Amino acid sequence: MSPVSGTVLIVDDDPAVRAALKFALEMEGFEVQLYDGPRTLLAAADLPKRACLVVDYRMPEIDGIELVDRLRSRNVMLPVILISGRVSNQLRNLAQQSGLTRVLEKPLSDAALVENIRGALAATA
């Protein structure tokens, strides 16, 4: 598969998850930026124009879906992959209502995550 360019923005409150995802995705050739929670991402001045968000669902203060809704209200329309330790039909329905079609369950398969990121970035080309 040809390389797809873009930055992956990881938003997860668990430092071990952030570090593991960063390592795996950099090994695949992606540029990665880490955010320790929704407020850190929302406070970021300049987000890359060509990027994919990988957002944990369960985080303190703001869940991943609410974070995406807040970004959309600011006209930040980056593609999103929602990740969660437990993916239920209810979560899939909530995600879909917010326009999120890519929902992956932890522990993440590196291949599934990379495939979803490449697909999301390719769709924005």
Q: With respect to residue 2, please indicate whether it lies within any of the assigned structural domains.
A: no
Regarding predicted confidence, which is higher, 5 or 66? Answer: 66
- How many domains, in total, are found in the chain? 1
Burial tier of 113 (Cβ tally within 10 Å: 0-12, 13-18, 19+): buried
Domain that holds residue 101: 7-109+118-123
Q: Per-residue pLDDT for 121 more than 90?
A: yes
Q: With respect to residue 94, please indicate whether it lies within any of the assigned structural domains.
A: yes
- pLDDT computed for residue 4 by the predictor: 72
- Could you tell me the CATH number of the domain that includes residue 24? 3.40.50.2300
Q: With respect to residue 1, please indicate whether it lies within any of the assigned structural domains.
A: no
15-56 tens-digit pLDDT: 999 999 999 999 999 999 999 999 999 999 889 989 999 999
Q: With respect to residue 66, please indicate whether it lies within any of the assigned structural domains.
A: yes
